Amino acid sequence: MESTERALFETGVRHATESGDGAALDAALDDLGWRDALEADRPTAVGVLFESQGKTTTTSAALDWLLASALGVEADGVAVVLPPLRQNGPPGRLDGDWCVVEGLGTAALDRCETALVATQTGDGTATFAVDLGLLTRRPVQGLDPALGLFEVMGEFETAWASSQPQPADWPATAALGQLALGHELVGAGRVMLELARTHALERLQFGRPIGTFQAVRHRLAESLVSLEAAAALLDAAWEDPSPVTAAMAKAFAGRSARSVSRNCQQVLAGIGFTTEHPLHRSVRRTIVLDQLLGAGTILTRTLGADILERAALPAAFAL
Amino acid sequence: MELRDFKAAVDDWLDAHESELACAYEGIGTLDEQMAQLRKVLRLTYDAGFMRMGWPERVGGLGGSNLLRAYLGEVLTAREFVEPGIYSMPEVLAPTMIDYAPEMLAAEMVPRLLRGEEIWCQGFSEPGTGSNLASLACRAIRDGDSWRINGQKVWTSLAQYASRCVLLTRTGTPESAHKGITALFIDMDSAGITVRPIETMHGAKEFCEVFFDDVLVPLDRVLGEVDHGWSIAMDLLPYERSTALWHRASYLQRRLEQLVAAAPAGSLDPVAVGEATELLWAFRARSRATQRRLAAGETLGAETSIDKVLVATAEQAVFDLVAQGLGAEVTLGDDPASQRWRAELLYSRAATIYGGSAEIQRNIIARRLLDLGADR
């Protein structure tokens, strides 16, 4: 997108995420033409929306739209079953003529009729489109009830799928989802930093704003450094969103958001520990997002283990 | 020349001249050997035209974007023809001359720096002036048609090799702080200058004390305006945190690559390797965006402090791994390769100290980027 077009798009998306959540946000995104933007300029569409969702702690069907489109399905009302918590492989596996499903669904699952289940086959992945009625879903309260996750499980005879299984590149699909979650984590980090910054300017102790104390300033400065680094890594990863770079960017964004969460919680101290202050929403969101589509710690350990095994580093960004 | 064509031309030329450019010593070498190597590489790349790319024509350059300079330093470092710290000094000093020196002076002097004919140094810190740069005391007093300088500088890198120095002096009252500083371009062979190298923990005498005893400098050697040297220092620091850091990232990547190839199985924690790699990649992504902003004509400012914090953190993370993965080499080895790992491990400890400490960078970020106001 050109800069003026991008600015308009950003304003529209920001407004949408600030004024609606869930189904209302889906509708606002459709009005904005977000899915057209996704076709035209995926990095901008995903980066802008998911960072905004992270900042506003909102949810939409956009992750499902993104993953479905990567799996080659553009229809409405289609949810994509996510891998189980912390994992990153396809949520389905074949057992004879049956497909066994174990995974998660976003809040948009409730607004869909069909589920796409990426399934491990012999040497690749195939996608089944099945009626959601064939699967069991449990609405998750858990750590972050506002995220509205579902646990999805069940098994169906592959012949019941509404279409023939389509060959799919799950690693490439999951990589796009990881980048989206990375942006959402950065957004969550940015809002926590802004909350802590405002507090540091307003809260007086020893006769002066606590933001004049170096111990506080340095925590906030460290938070900004880590968020800007995560944002830069995500932007660079879009140039070649391979599973390796996407996993790095997602893991790094998660680590960054977790460290921002720790710093900002400390600066916000007592008030930030109450439900009267919004911080807790972002703290919860950060912990959960960090564990969707591959837990950050697992992705990082896998990266390190691969590097050591191959005795070589991943491809570097060229100037 | 476009970056893509430049890359191809540089790569071909480096392939063809590999043996001429190669280091004449094993391991880290002595500082004398490193300097001789640097001069050789600068001379060869200047004569081939590459070192002139990305610099304006009025100082002997051939024009083109800063990305060309960024790439040249990246490959010279990645191929281990130069040590990035000493190679990148023109990235800081030449822009200062281009922006602030009288035109004739810049045109005369900058080519000498770029082709390795001269080494320059930067006289900023003083014994009583570390993080609080605006408190500097090295005095310059007008005396007829000269400035008369008395005082002392410290941590002046490569002063013993330098022909010139960009020197910050106090020309206002002692209390004038950042309002009474003047930048001068001085000849290091002037009478009254004494240089005493300091041996550092990593075994090199890279930093020096420089004493000024009634040193006379012609009036026309002022950079910018009298009493406005602070703005020069402030404009120079973002340069120190841009292209030079891209070169350093290339070096860190090279060393990490060599580490994972050389470390015995089981000696490195996969999590630590993964974290250091992610951090280094994040830094490269950030630094590349900075190079591109510079190429697009943006003025760099306080946001480069983020780049500086990141490179220092990444460097220490990489060498913390070296201490684990090559523990035997670092602690017991006396061969050239081990000596180099050891020296670089020790040098990495200074990454959060030199060029504006990690604390000063965080102060800048807090005040200028987070707008937290003054800290008292």
Domain A71-168 class, CATH top level: mainly beta
Q: Name residue, tokens 């830094």.
A: B283
Where are the CATH 2.40.110 domain residues in chain A? 71-168
Q: State the pLDDT at residue B124.
A: 95
Amino acid at A99: C
pLDDT at B274: 98
Q: Which of B151-165, B235-249, B351-365 has the lowest mean pLDDT?
A: B235-249
Task: Pick from A75-79, A121-125, A301-305 the range whose average pLDDT is largest.
Answer: A301-305
Q: What percent of chain A has pLDDT over 90?
A: 93
Please, which residues have CB within 8 angstroms of residue A262's CB and are 6 or more apart in sequence?
Answer: none
- Would you state the pLDDT for residue B14? 98
List the domains of chain B with CATH numbers.
3-117 (1.10.540.10), 121-227 (2.40.110.10), 241-369 (1.20.140.10)
Q: Where does CATH 1.20.140.10 sit in chain A? A: 170-310
Which residues 32-71 on chain A approach chain B with CB closer than 8 angstroms? none
pLDDT of residue B240: 85
Tell me which CATH code domain A170-310 carries: 1.20.140.10
Q: Note which residues in 244-283 of chain A have CB less than 8 A from chain B.
A: 245, 248, 251-252, 255
* A121, two tokens: 């086959």
Over residues A27-79, the pLDDT tens digits come to 999 999 999 999 999 999 999 999 999 999 999 999 999 999 999 998 889 99
CB pairs under 8 A between A and B: 158
**What residue in A sits closest to B7 (Cα-Cα)?**
A319
Pairing mode, if any, of strands A125-131 and A114-120?
Answer: antiparallel
How many C-beta neighbours within 10 Å does residue B218 have?
14
For the cut 90, the answer to whether the pLDDT of residue A167 exceeds it is no
Nearest chain A residue to B282 by CA: give it.
A233
The Cα A248–Cα A238 span in angstroms is 12
Residues of B in contact with A305 (CB under 8 A): 270, 274
Mean pLDDT of B169-198: 96
Q: Is it the case that residue A162 has pLDDT exceeding 80?
A: no
CB neighbourhood size of B54 (10 A) = 24
- State residue B338's pLDDT score: 97
Inter-chain residue contact A224 with B373, CB threshold 8 Å: no
The ipTM, to two decimals, is 0.97
B235, pLDDT greater than 90: no
Nearest CB to A316; choose among B253, B263, B376: B253
Query: Tokens 């060959």 label which residue?
Result: A167
Inform me whether the pLDDT recorded for A163 exceeds 80.
no
How much is the pLDDT for B239? 84
Q: Find residues 99-118 of chain A whose CB sits inside 8 Å of chain B.
A: none
Closest chain A residue to B250 measured between Cα atoms? Answer: A316
Q: Which residue has the higher pLDDT, B240 or B31?
A: B31
Cross-chain CB nearest to B260 (options A248, A297, A313): A313
Which 179-238 residues of chain A touch chain B by CB within 8 A? 197, 200-201, 208-209, 211-214, 217-218, 220-222, 224-225, 228-230, 232-233, 235-237
The model's pTM is 0.97
- What CA–CA distance (Å, rounded) separates B40 from B81? 10
Helices (H), ranges, chain B:
3-16, 18-21, 31-47, 66-78, 84-87, 89-100, 103-114, 229-240, 243-262, 270-295, 304-325, 327-332, 336-348, 358-364
Is-contact A113 A77, C-beta < 8 A? yes
**Given an 8 Å threshold on Cβ–Cβ distance, is B376 in contact with A220?**
no
Which pLDDT band, with edges at 50, 70 and 90, does B236 fall under?
confident
What is the Cβ-side half-sphere exposure of residue A256, based on CA atoms within 13 angstroms? 35
> Which of B330, B347, B335, B316 shows the shortest CA–CA distance to B264?
B330
Segment A250-265, tens digit of pLDDT = 999 999 999 999 999 9
pLDDT at B148: 98
DSSP per-residue codes, A122-175: SSSEEEEEEEGGGSEEEE--SS-GGG--EEEEEEEEGGGSSSPPEEE-HHHHHH
Contacts of B253 in chain A (CB under 8 A): 313, 316
Instruction: Determine which of B255, B281, B368 to mutate to test the interface with A (most A C-beta atoms within 10 Å).
Output: B281
- Specify the pLDDT at position A282: 98
Contact between chains at A314 and B277 (C-beta distance less than 8 A) = yes
Residues from chain B contacting residue A245 (CB–CB below 8 Å): 281
Q: Which of B71, B282, B374 sits opposite A229 (nearest CB)?
A: B282
Residue B376 has pLDDT above 90, yes or no: no
For residues A30 and A61, the answer to whether their CB atoms sit within 8 Å is no
Q: CA-CA distance, A301 to B265, in Å (whole number)? A: 16
Q: Choose among A149, A175, A153: nearest CA to A67.
A: A175
Considering only the beta carbons, identify the residue of B3, B67, B274 that sits closest to A304. B274
Give the whole-angstrom CA distance, residue B133 versus residue B131: 6
Catalytic residue IDs of B: 240
Position B87 scores a pLDDT of 95
Cβ contacts of A316 on chain B, cutoff 8 Å:
253, 281, 284
For A287-300, write each residue's pLDDT tens digit: 999 999 999 999 99
B238-281 pLDDT, tens digit per residue, is 888 899 999 999 999 999 999 999 999 999 999 999 999 999 99
Instruction: Kindly determine whether residue B274 and residue A201, on different chains, have CB atoms separated by under 8 Å.
Output: no
B173 phi and psi angles, rounded to 5 deg: -70, 160
Strand-pair category, A125-131 with A78-80 = unpaired
Instruction: Check B288 against A236: CB less than 8 A apart.
Output: yes
